A and B are shown apart, each in its own frame.
Chain A
Amino acid sequence: MAIIETKNLTYTYPGATKPSIVDVSIKVEKGEFVLITGPSGCGKTTLCRTFNGLVPHFYQGELKGEISVAGIDTLKHHTYEMAKHVGLVFQNPENQLFALSIEKDVAFGLENVGVPREEMRRKVDWALNQTGIYDIRERSPHEISGGQQQRVAIASVLAMEPEVIVLDEPTSFLDPLSAEKIFEVIYKLNQEQGITVILVEHRLDLTAKYTNHLIVMDRGIVRLEGDPRQILSNEETRLIGVGIPKATLLYQMLKKEGLNLGDKTPLSSEELAGQLLEALGHP
């Protein structure tokens, strides 16, 4: 069974004249690494807010169609009930952190749902270890770097052991190396723990290599969905205004000039470099 399934989902914010998402029907299988992209205002953030019920419970407005997440109809259940199943990580970690120590921040969600002390200890330590911040757990979340703060935000949702983690441009404020490390942490959780990841990103140069399910949205509509290699080599994707990774773009440019690098569209510099070494390395 799909972990997330929507059918003809259409949502309008209160007071808005037109819907932000229109007729969205998607299916996400357990363990997938989904990347949602598309031009500003295409509805990607709004769609993510439906996954834990923030839309419509918090934002109000009008939601039509069907949605089920981890087997639960989010329309009939509160956001706090969804928190056990879906964790949300936002762009700016500062907005999400508030406790006196990192450890307390990570434990907060568990305290709220009344997890016994022993079990809480175990889950918090696990989440701190998974995100590589165990050693700094006693420090204040406000005196650490932005990259570390975003790890705390991820650890906080991870401690709840959700089936799905939704991340909305989680590295925008981070320097490139810290961003790369965050994506590696997320990828590891996906690969080793089998957690379903939904990542919203503009910057495919950094993220295309992790995904196995790409969703391209435009003006509230899902325009393309499926295999990232196929979608990123589709001319329509570029015309929608999606920033194609440079490695993928270079592969296409070379192909047009008659340089055959094989059928596999590369999603990363490693893949393209490998293909080029293969094609040009044996004169």
Chain B
Amino acid sequence: MRIGDFRESYRHDEALFATPVARAWFAALLAALLLFPLVGSGYLVGLACVLGIHVIASAGLNIMTGYTGLISLGHAAFMGVGCYTAAYFAQRGLPFVLTLPLAGLFAAALGVVVGMPSLRIKGLYLAVATLAMQFLLVYVFREWDSVTGGVRGVNVPPAELLGVKLDTDQRMAWLIAACAVALLLAARNLFRTRVGRAFIAIRDKDISAEVLGIDLLRYKLAAFAIGSFYAGVAGALLAYYYRAMTPEYFTLQLSIFYLAAIIVGGLGSTLGSILGAVFMTLVPEALRAIVSFIAQWAPRAVEILSPIQQVVFGLLIIGFLVFEPHGLLEIWRRVRRFFHLWPFRA
């Protein structure tokens, strides 16, 4: 039950977490993130690492697409840029506290370059341009042997913090969780600032925003830079987590996965990015579990697992768009509203 949430001062209205209850939940979440790697099984901790990386990348795409309205079909390629940047510098002995931001900055710089045409082209045209960029970058990953290792991929030395090698899933989980929390808080904070508000104005109607004095080029490029920075950091974490990456990871499918995640979760919301990324990562895992359960009686079921995952993926996107366009976030809000006055009024 949560009632009596009245905003009495501007500071209260602007707060990251509006109520003590929300702050308590956030503290509980932090504690859970801290403890989980200790108690979770190996499979679960590994899954949590991948989840955290997906959440970071989705949050970045949501800033670009959900908040600013710039559709990108090339998010995975930017992750790739981050991944290879981190790998390149890590192999030359730079510690991860440097390579992580460097990876983000490289991806952001490239994001600015790709974002340049976004002033002239938008909507579907921008989607096609980023799609083209996706294929070009993967081509570069494959062919630029001296940096990316070509199709064989790169190996990355484990991350090291204060002399401790982060070479187990457990230790990586802490690192990824810390990065995710920091970046998500930053994303949430961004939309309390002038920059974030400008992004939202651009999404709602870019010409109106320009009339209101928002420098379109500057803010669109900023959105590209920030979104790509998130992708770059996520890619760098991916490099440290798997410690060996090939270009085959950063396909168009992955870009589409992130778009699907933010649509299913909820466009233009940090919580939506989290919900969507978690949901879209867990559904294929659940399907795998179901199929391996059925396979006890029908061994051939395993063969069609991957097509079934594809079908479910597609149907989820369509289903959410048609029936629940505001995504899981809206479902979550409905559930919460129901419990606001429960049990006094249902």
Pair from one complex:
no
